[in-house]
Amino acid sequence: MQMKCQNVTRHRRRHEEVSTATAAQRSLPTFIAAAAASTTTVATTITTICCCIWLLLVHAPAPTQTRRLQRCELAGQLYILDVPKSELSLWLCIAHYESRYNTHVVGNRNADGSGDYGLFQISSRYWCQPDNGTKYYAFNECNVKCSALLLDDITEAVDCARTIQRRQGWSAWSVYSVYCNRTLNEVDDCFESVSEEVHVDSEIEK
């Protein structure tokens, strides 16, 4: 009787061991499948992140060249761009109070949602086209993108500002009546060194 009990016990142990091994074998494919699915998910996530980064880099706006001009430096550039010398003091005054001679300034949003750009704070409502295609863009009378008014090369900004002045006068800038509609400092000091150099060159040629 004791021998039979021992045999039964051994048989049960073997059966349990076989069952455990079988269960382990059955669970192994499930584990492998789960691991594979997890790996696929991670790979997909990494791929998605890489694609997003690539899109951001591709569609990121090009860096804008900007700087703060000095008074006489701006006077010289305006003169080179055919601004009459008699108007230079006014343009310098407007640029000073509108942007402090900074080419890259974008003002706070106006009540109608438009923005003001560059040296002369030119409005996107009437005069330039915003890059983002905002609904507040309406006319683009200067036929120029607003971003072009922020460049280190101030040609577009000056051309547009002069267009505004011809059509609306100096009062198109609110700072004019407050700060610039008065006797202003002349800009002769900005051209003295140039005049002296020309005079010296003339003497040498003689």
Provide the pLDDT confidence category of residue 113 given band limits of 50, 70 and 90.
confident
In percent, the amount of the chain with pLDDT more than 90 equals 49
What is the architecture of the domain spanning 71-189?
A: Orthogonal Bundle (1.10)
- Cβ proximity of 122 and 94 under 8 Å: no
**Residues facing residue 122 across a β-bridge:** 117
pLDDT for residue 99 is more than 80: yes
- What is the residue extent of each domain of the chain? 71-189
- Cβ proximity of 93 and 182 under 8 Å: no
- Which of 73, 82, 116, 152 does the annotation list as catalytic? 116
Average pLDDT over residues 87-91: 97
Provide the pLDDT confidence category of residue 67 given band limits of 50, 70 and 90.
confident
Task: Report the C-alpha gap between 63 and 104 in whole angstroms.
Answer: 11
Does residue 17 carry a catalytic annotation? no
- Whole-model pTM: value is 0.62
Does residue 186 carry a catalytic annotation? no
pLDDT for residue 6 is more than 50: no
pLDDT for residue 9 is more than 50: no
171 token code pair: 């009062």
Tell which wins on pLDDT, 102 or 111. Answer: 102
What confidence tens digit (pLDDT) does each residue in 153-186 have? 999 999 999 999 999 999 999 999 999 998 888 8
**Residues facing residue 68 across a β-bridge:** 102
What confidence tens digit (pLDDT) does each residue in 123-152 have? 998 999 987 766 556 689 999 999 999 999
pLDDT for residue 8 is more than 50: no
Q: CB under 8 Å to 148, separation ≥6 — which residues? A: 128, 156, 157
Provide the pLDDT confidence category of residue 77 given band limits of 50, 70 and 90.
very high
pLDDT for residue 200 is more than 50: no
- Which of 17, 98, 196, 203 does the annotation list as catalytic? 98
pLDDT for residue 110 is more than 60: yes
125: helix, coil or strand?
Answer: coil
What's the mean per-residue pLDDT of the chain?
A: 75
Beta-carbon neighbour count of residue 157 at 10 Å? 26
